[in-house]
Amino acid sequence: MIKRLLAVSGVALMALAGQALAAPPDNTVVVGFGADASTFDPAQISSRDNANIAKHIFATLFTVTYEGEVQPYLVDKTAVSEDGLAYTFTLKSGLTCEDGEPLTAEDVAYTFNRAADKANGFTGNTPGFVYTTLGFQSAEVVDELNVKINVKARTSLALGMLAQVYVHCKDSYEKMTLDQASASPIGSGSYRLASWERGSQIVLEKVKDPGTFDTIIFRIIPEASTRTAELIAGNVDIITNVSPDQIEAVNASGTAEVKSVSGTRRMQIGYNLGAGVADLPGAKEIQDPKVRFALQYAVDVPAICEQLLGATCERMTSLVNPPNGNPELQPIPYDPEMAEKLLDEAGYPRDANGVRFTIRLQGPRGRYLNDAAVVQAIGQFLTDVGVQTEVELLEWASVYSPLLRTKTMGPLFFLGQGGVTWNPLYDMSLFSTPDGATNYQSWTDERWFADWALALAAPTPEEARPIINRMLKLFYEEGPWLMLYFQPDHYGVSDRIDWTPRRDEEIELFNAKLAS
């Protein structure tokens, strides 16, 4: 009896195994993400993973290409007023939303004004970041295909920022409650949300071109090693954030490979020059630009990349992503002797114990690629040149992030900040004002901010180029960052799929296809 029961159970398990472990069908691509979407309300979306799913559901006026260029998407023509404060966009004709409703200027104006409406209490990327950067004022309908968007000040960032606003149709969204909008989006893009099992998976179905696959499945797999196992087993086609210690295993699997790109996230050691840490050891010393510059030579950035991040990388020369940097600036090499010489010249010789001064270096744990190991390595590099560095690793959400927001971290602190390739001013906007929220370093150099105003007023980044180059040279020599690297991003890609990752952490599957 028991034997018979075991035999039946075994057969049943084998049958279930056949069903559960089948590879995805040819018309489907499966992506393994670390985090679930939190909402599909276009005005509430804020995280990168969430946006990577939403961009397949919602279309945008403009799009940033793989090469990092801003191109029109829903827009046919663009006209800018002389003062640069009004943009009139002519939409392509024949556009529709997922439910068949024609997509017109009225819908675009509704999209922009809905996100800006404070009564809705939206806190997503569009009202929280795009509108602040853009200086968004209002959107108005000119006629059926023409819509005007008004901004506070001229900015060459406008079109790129508009590539982050998800367009949706007025009639369908006016009928929805906010809860319905969050869970049941009606999009304007190539795919529709077919199902959302929270915490498990999100299934999108194709409704129109562009898009190679009929179905896209985003599976939520938080643990990195589980994601890797699913990729190697052939159950998912693309995974994000492959851990450096698993790259070899994936490449040796014979079923998948790791594709690495130099991302646009700028990793740095910030020098906190503000009042929040003024009384702490080391805070006075790093006020001296010569000290800040000297410490650049103390850290072996290529070794950190190779040993800890599973990638080769070139040290950054400024806060701007390539190819938009100042071409005259060369990466500062690892030269501890030069660091010691410059620190001596700056007036901080080693004392009898071999210590020049002491300082605290704080970093998050688990926020960035191998962050804890990187911070500890940097602490050791600095100690080696006589700057006795006390490393403190902190939990991100409840400890580190509040310290950042109140500018009380450091005096040295490890941080990564996202960037773009389509406009250097976007990357430089972290330092738009001396007391701005993203100026975590409280850098107040007047030369930078005077030039910032000039650069921003230029109609195009090309016209602003001489000013930008001057600013980046200042940042290189006296800036508030110990410059590290652009964070490498490791994607696991199944041999079944032909797909190339982008630099900017965006995952686009429109052009992904089965490998030939």
Binding site for another protein (CB under 8 A): 12-13, 16-17, 19-21, 35, 38-39, 41, 44, 123, 127-129, 132-133, 179, 182-183, 197-200, 219-223, 225-226, 229-230, 232-233, 235, 396-399, 401-402, 405-406, 436-438
Cα angle 269-272-276, degrees, rounded to a multiple of 5: 145
Residue 281 structure tokens:
């050891």
> Is the Cβ of residue 232 or residue 497 nearer to another protein in the bound state?
232
> Is the Cβ of residue 396 or residue 449 nearer to another protein in the bound state?
396
> Is the Cβ of residue 49 or residue 504 nearer to another protein in the bound state?
49
Cis peptide before 349 (omega within 30 of 0): no
- At residue 485, φ and ψ (nearest 5 deg) are -150, 165
Q: What is the spatial distance between Cα 27 and Cα 344, in angstroms, rounded to a whole number? A: 65
> Is the Cβ of residue 292 or residue 407 nearer to another protein in the bound state?
407
Smallest separation, CB 6 to another protein (Å): 15
> Is the Cβ of residue 217 or residue 378 nearer to another protein in the bound state?
217
Smallest separation, CB 367 to another protein (Å): 10
Q: What is the spatial distance between Cα 479 and Cα 467, in angstroms, rounded to a whole number? A: 16
Smallest separation, CB 246 to another protein (Å): 12
Q: Which residues contact 189 (CB under 8 A, 6 or more apart)?
A: 55, 56, 57, 58, 59
Smallest separation, CB 48 to another protein (Å): 14
Q: For residue 411, give the amino acid letter.
A: P
Q: Are 379 and 361 in contact (CB under 8 A)?
A: yes
Which has the closest alpha carbon to 84: 143, 141, 149, 6?
A: 149
Smallest separation, CB 175 to another protein (Å): 19
Write down the residue that tokens 């196992």 correspond to: 229
> Is the Cβ of residue 293 or residue 440 nearer to another protein in the bound state?
440
- At residue 192, φ and ψ (nearest 5 deg) are -120, 155
Which has the closest alpha carbon to 145: 108, 95, 90?
A: 90
Smallest separation, CB 359 to another protein (Å): 23
Q: Are 262 and 283 in contact (CB under 8 A)?
A: no
In terms of DSSP bridges, do strands 146-151 and 86-91 run parallel, antiparallel, or are they unpaired? Answer: antiparallel
> Is the Cβ of residue 177 or residue 353 nearer to another protein in the bound state?
177
Q: Are 276 and 408 in contact (CB under 8 A)?
A: yes
Summarize the chain as % helix, strand, coil (round to 5): 35, 25, 45
Smallest separation, CB 131 to another protein (Å): 9
> Is the Cβ of residue 58 or residue 89 nearer to another protein in the bound state?
58
Smallest separation, CB 368 to another protein (Å): 14
Smallest separation, CB 233 to another protein (Å): 5
> Is the Cβ of residue 166 or residue 334 nearer to another protein in the bound state?
166
- At residue 40, φ and ψ (nearest 5 deg) are -115, 15
